[in-house]
A = this chain, B = another copy of it.
Amino acid sequence: MANYRRRRWRESMAVRLDLNGLLAATVGADGVAPEDLATLEPALGRVRAELAARRATGGLEFADLPYHRDDVRRVIEVATAAREEFDTLVVLGIGGSALGASAICAALPGQTSGLHIVIADAIDPEAFGTLLEQLDLRRTLFNVVSKSGETAETMAQFLIVRDRLLRELGAVDYKRHLLVTSDAQQGALRQIVNDEGFRALPIPAAVGGRFSVLTTVGLFPAAAAGVDVEELLAGAASMDERSKAAATPLADPPLALGGLLWQLATSRQKTIVVLMAYCERLAATADWFCQLWAESLGKAVDLDGRTVEWGQTPVGALGTSDQHSQLQLYLEGPRDKAVVFLRLEDHGTNIDVPATYQDLASVGYLGGHSLGELLNAEQRATELALAKRGRPSATLTLPALNAFTLGQLFYLCQMATVAVGALAGIDPFGQPGVEEGKRLAWGLMGRPGFEASRAEVEAWLARKDARFVI
């Protein structure tokens, strides 16, 4: 009976995708036309088969994370122990090592018995200095997260924190305040773990940073906060099951969403996808999505090595705030955007607007409505205003915001990203472009072996035309 109720509850918590607003039937020439769908559907069928084959041979490890229940039990164990020892968890990580944890911890409240979570992804000395000043080091656990163990920002933070801990707590005690999440086999951080005997959690070798939200990287901070991480995985698994059970590719949520956005990018010049969340707690999830979409799909060459310079620029937006900031541009500016709304059916908390100033037409109508109603009315109004101007949008509705629905959303976005990669013929993994910048920064920082990079930066700075420095 408990299982039956849980199944019914989960069915009621299925994330819904309304894709009508992306179609020409709704928005006219800038939408996906029936003839586009006729060619898209078989292409999506091929992508579906290809992704299934890759999964079957272990080539898409992130997709199977919802079923790695043993890893999760280990994470919960370590997190439970940490909750007994500490009050605060500071995650030292950046990019994929920060955004997933940040998304979960901002979206879900955790438990009152959970740790207070701080994601320290920046090396801004003012921000990092202020944070360090505010912490009670004796009650703080630092989770150092870097898969490669070479990330300059995270390693610099780690060295600073290690030094402070050492000085404040002594050479014996300081170690229990550090927990390293990194590749289990390689990298400088792994070597340091081995030498120093720090506690550590492994990141699966075949899962990259931006697909790591459901690994130790995202799940440990979540579990430490008291989030039900098994429910997150159950949500992800349920999206996977819906996907597999879909009768056609266009009924498969990630394939349909990815397929239509790809179609709009390639045949309707929608070079920008706006993820607009009507819920403050989902703003960090929008940031997480922006990394996923940008870094996975922004690639110079396709799988055959041809120059394509592909990509669709993701932009995070927040309703209703960005109605008063970006919407004018979305409605009247270039027709280069597809908008994806994130909408909550039930906001959890309800605040009613009291009936006041009923004689004032421009104020009185608000009385008796709740803030959640107003928020959702604004979302619908924005959706229709865009459609009336011929601007395509999709709406993802979460019945409520909880671990189960957030897990679905993560999985949906990740699989949609991989589907677009397959349609565009590019590799959604890796980030070859950013290596050059790392070398140049190493050169400027005096890392041995990168003297030529330093010289290159200096020569470039010296070459600048003084007339254009004003």
Contact = CB atoms under 8 A, between A and B. Distances in A.
A327 B152 CA distance: 16
A353 interface: yes
A460 B18 CA distance: 13
Given A162-B356, A349-B125, A328 B294 contact: yes
Interface stretch (A68-76, A81-89, A360-368): A360-368
A333 B318 contact: no
Given A124-B279, A331-B433, A332-B299, A381 B444 contact: yes
A240 B159 CA distance: 44
Given A333-B298, A333-B309, A371-B125, A434 B328 contact: yes
B126 A280 contact: yes
Interface residues on A, range: 35 or more
Contacts of A209: 324
B354 A333 contact: no
A350 B209 CA distance: 30
A440 B381 contact: yes
B329 A384 contact: no
B325 A290 contact: yes
Contacts of A156: 353, 366, 369, 371, 374
A155 B384 CA distance: 23
Interface of A: 16-20, 23, 25-26, 94-96, 98-99, 121-130, 149-153, 155-156, 159-160, 162-163, 187-188, 191-192, 209, 246, 250-253, 256, 271-272, 278-281, 287, 290-291, 294-295, 297-300, 309-311, 313, 315, 318, 320-321, 323-337, 347-354, 356-357, 360-363, 365-367, 369-375, 377-378, 380-382, 384-385, 387-389, 431-434, 436-449, 456-457, 460-461, 464-465, 467-470
14 contacts: A122-B321, A123-B375, A126-B279, A127-B280, A159-B367, A163-B356, A188-B363, A250-B468, A298-B332, A299-B332, A311-B334, A365-B442, A385-B436, A389-B433
